[in-house]
Copies of this chain bind each other. A is one copy, B any other.
Amino acid sequence: MGGAVTGANRLRVGVIGAGAMGASHARTLATSVPSAEVVAVYDMDTARAKAVADEVGGQPADSPESLVAQVDAFVVASPDFTHADLAIAGVEAGKHVLCEKPLAVTADEARRVVDAEVDAGRRFVQVGFNRRFDPGFRSLKGSIDDGTLGEIRVLHGIHRNASNATSTDDAGLVTGSMIHELDTFRWLLDAEVVAIRVESPITEGFRDPQVATLWTSTGQMITAEVFVNAAYGYDVRVEAVGTGGSASLEPRTPVVARVGGASASVIGSDFVAHFIESYRLELAAWSDAALRGEVVGASAWDGFAANLVAEAGVRALRSGEKQTIDVPQRPGLYDA
């Protein structure tokens, strides 16, 4: 993945947002992606921007605008409400953008990014759905695509966090956590989600866990559980069930300890550590592609579609009713 890099052709990268995710991306670029060079870091918290910039050998930037101006490409890891505008700024400046998920806070905003690319007649935006680069997920998709499982009928997804780090409103379980599943399901099946229901055994207050049921344009049903207070650790699993068999993604650490009456493998609680390899591969693929003038991974269209389903999911959670989703015609720009 990716060609060799000489000093002449490294991608000059900026990172917008120096929180946990942005700092992690900056470090991964600096230590593991030879095709990229982090030259600028922006954060509203200037001390934080400077600390990360120092660490990765770049300079703090005064503003997102100045950062965009001085780089070849940039990563968006700032608060969600800034994503869409920054992505559009990238498109308008002709700079490649790796935008953390979600692409936007609303589907309408996400649609504006798509429209900007359509207007530009060219794609610049990759959305940070990192699972598309995870070796386990890719292997699962391989089992689906190669026909081993026959025709897929059902998917089952599980997404659990040890404790709720981010959501203050239970709609955040849909827009912040389940959105990964929404992209995963679309990608695994090469399909759109056309209906969704989101329910919870908790009927008042913060509804966690949530159980979603989804329907796809290609005829599958999907169940998905999201539970952000699952206590025991970070756990993501998917099973694909077809007419020829089933394949499950069941990650397991390679060491099995037999101590005190049990045989056990560690389950961590940090999603960045869990998916660290996928982030590295995502960033490398993005940077390598950007140097070639290409975009890989999840597109702005994929980001928009995920937003569209997530919005329907929030409506479903609030109403208790199944919501259908009218997915618009996909612009030809996004044909494979």
Are A266 and B257 CB-contacts (below 8 A) given A201-B220, A230-B246? Answer: no
Are A258 and B247 CB-contacts (below 8 A) given A153-B202, A211-B221, A284-B31? Answer: yes
Residue of B whose beta carbon sits closest to that of A208: B153
Q: Which residues of the other chain, B, contact A249 by a CB distance below 8 angstroms? A: 254-255
Are A255 and B136 CB-contacts (below 8 A) given A5-B57, A263-B267? Answer: yes
Is B267's CB under 8 angstroms from A261's CB?
A: yes
Residue of B whose beta carbon sits closest to that of A276: B135
Q: Closest CB of chain B to A156's CB: distance in Å?
A: 7
Bound-state CA distance A36–B4 (Å) is 11
A248 at the B interface (CB under 8 A):
yes
A94 at the B interface (CB under 8 A):
no
Chain A, range 1-28, C-beta contacts under 8 Å to B: 1-7, 10, 27
With A3-B30, A245-B259 given, can you name 11 additional A-B contacts, CB distance below 8 Å? A31-B288, A136-B253, A139-B254, A154-B225, A211-B213, A227-B241, A246-B259, A247-B256, A247-B258, A262-B267, A263-B264
- Chain A, interface size: which category? 35 or more
* Contact residues of A: prevailing secondary structure: mixed
A251 at the B interface (CB under 8 A):
yes
Bound-state CA distance A213–B253 (Å) is 28
Residue of B whose beta carbon sits closest to that of A52: B4
Is A259's CB under 8 angstroms from B244's CB?
A: yes
Is B233's CB under 8 angstroms from A201's CB?
A: no
Q: Which residues of the other chain, B, contact A248 by a CB distance below 8 angstroms? A: 255-258
